[in-house]
Amino acid sequence: MKPVKFIKQLAVSILILSLIACSNNSILISTEPTQTIEGSIEPTAAGNVVEVVGAEAPADTISQPLLEEVEVVSLKIPENIQAASFEYSGLAWFGEHLVLLPQFPQGKDFSREANLFAIAKEDLLRAIENPDLELPVREVPILNSDLRNVIKGFEGFESILFVDKEVYLTIESRAGNPMMGYLIRGEVQGGLESITLDPESLVELVPFSSVRNATFEAMTYWNGNLYVIYEHNSMQGDRMPVAYQFNLDLEFEREIPFPSIDYRVTDATISDASGKFWVMNYFFFGDTHLAVDQDALVLEYGEGKTHANNEPVERLVELQIEDGKISRVDQAPIYLQLLDDDIARNWEGIVLLDDLGFLLITDSFPGSILGFYPILR
């Protein structure tokens, strides 16, 4: 149950008891509800990055104001690539082109040509000014993307990023207990004429839990290293969250601490020069195994108006790589304005568009949506 809904129910209960007490010439002593979480947020000496430590929730969190939300602007992509069956699972920039990653470049039945899709930045800027414009999209052939003979239980690609002419992707499979993740490297030909993956570069990414359909859905790059992020990072598991650090030759370097974040982390932006980046944080209320009684970020900062009245969570959280760990930047998340009637959008891809805002893409639910969300700060 979300904290705001709990408070509403509590207020109604107090009102009823007050009316009963008055009718009996009684006096009711009002008490504040005590809310606790597994960890609260404690600022570091710098005051801008926080770590999770075991403590009670702040006493005044129930009075947090509603945070501003903005509607996601839907951008038009051609009908031939907007079917839910494409199940887009990532976005990335290659130079001045946005690359859209389908989970299965050849389709789930492997019946079409294996392609990613690219959109020029200048066309995206025009479409943001006029969302009625249909975006020109070109196909980018991807070679060696059918890995069914190399990876048992191959279930497609989950994230993508480019470093110069190299491309890196994470992969999901049913080859573990029950899942297994993989990381693969490839090369870009020309100015994104095509991409060729190298199956011999495959390395395993061992999941941190035995949850079905949960592997590594996000990556970022900073200071010569890749950081691969598992999608479940709450404090509900048996271990503290970590990320995997690899060099660009896909040699494993170490696990580094990762902040506790409820729900799912479904994608990440490239890090800036200081190591800061954003992740997509999503909750579909049908994922009951990810539900929490108290959402630590809501307790600390509040939430958006539509989030206070609906079950899904669609928000962006800023993180930073620093001092051998990934920490949460001490500021409120950015909340997307939700759709009505508890319709959740499974945002699986995120990139920054200069300093204007974020470009986002959904997988198959509730359909393939490419959207723009402006930065208000």
Predicted confidence (pLDDT) at residue 18 exceeds the cutoff of 50: no
Predicted confidence (pLDDT) at residue 219 exceeds the cutoff of 50: yes
The per-residue pLDDT for 64 is: 78
Residue 304 CA to residue 29 CA, distance in Å, equals 32
Residues 232 and 324 in one domain: yes
Domain extent at residue 125: 69-374
Instruction: Look at 3 and 297; give whichever has higher pLDDT.
Output: 297
User: What is the average pLDDT score of the chain?
Assistant: 86
If one counts every other C-beta atom within 10 angstroms of the C-beta of residue 85, the result is: 14
Residues 109 and 252 in one domain: yes
Predicted confidence (pLDDT) at residue 6 exceeds the cutoff of 70: no
Band of pLDDT at residue 41, cut at 50, 70 and 90? very low
Predicted confidence (pLDDT) at residue 13 exceeds the cutoff of 60: no
Predicted confidence (pLDDT) at residue 287 exceeds the cutoff of 70: yes
The average pLDDT across 79-102 equals 95
Tens digits of residue pLDDT in 319-376: 999 999 999 999 999 999 999 999 999 999 999 999 999 999 999 899 999 999 998 6
Task: Provide the CATH number for the domain around residue 358.
Answer: 2.115.10
User: How is residue 161 written in tokens?
Assistant: 């990023």
Residues 73 and 25 in one domain: no
Tens digits of residue pLDDT in 148-201: 999 999 999 999 999 999 999 999 999 898 999 999 999 999 999 999 999 999
The per-residue pLDDT for 60 is: 44
Residue 324 CA to residue 255 CA, distance in Å, equals 9
Predicted confidence (pLDDT) at residue 278 exceeds the cutoff of 70: yes
Residues 223 and 356 in one domain: yes
Answer yes or no: is 9 within a domain: yes
Query: Which of left, alpha, beta for 50 (phi over 0: left; psi -120 to 50: alpha)?
Result: beta
Band of pLDDT at residue 208, cut at 50, 70 and 90? very high
Residues 205 and 133 in one domain: yes
Answer yes or no: is 63 within a domain: no
Instruction: Look at 63 and 352; give whichever has higher pLDDT.
Output: 352
Answer yes or no: is 42 within a domain: no
Predicted TM-score (pTM) of this structure: 0.84
Band of pLDDT at residue 4, cut at 50, 70 and 90? very low
The average pLDDT across 7-35 equals 39
Residues 205 and 324 in one domain: yes
Predicted confidence (pLDDT) at residue 85 exceeds the cutoff of 90: no
Band of pLDDT at residue 121, cut at 50, 70 and 90? very high
Answer yes or no: is 246 within a domain: yes
The per-residue pLDDT for 83 is: 86
Residues 26 and 121 in one domain: no
Answer yes or no: is 11 within a domain: yes
Residues 135 and 20 in one domain: no
The per-residue pLDDT for 178 is: 94
Residue 197 CA to residue 82 CA, distance in Å, equals 25
Answer yes or no: is 274 within a domain: yes
Task: Name the burial class of residue 45, with classes exposed (0-12), middle (13-18) and buried (19+) by CB atoms within 10 angstroms of its CB.
Answer: exposed
Answer yes or no: is 157 within a domain: yes
Query: Which of left, alpha, beta for 296 (phi over 0: left; psi -120 to 50: alpha)?
Result: alpha
Predicted confidence (pLDDT) at residue 215 exceeds the cutoff of 70: yes
Does residue 202 contact residue 185 with C-beta atoms inside 8 Å?
A: no
Q: Which of 5-9, 309-313, 367-371 has the lowest mean pLDDT?
A: 5-9
Predicted confidence (pLDDT) at residue 10 exceeds the cutoff of 80: no
Domain count, the chain: 2
Residues 7 and 95 in one domain: no
Answer yes or no: is 60 within a domain: no
Residue 367 CA to residue 86 CA, distance in Å, equals 9
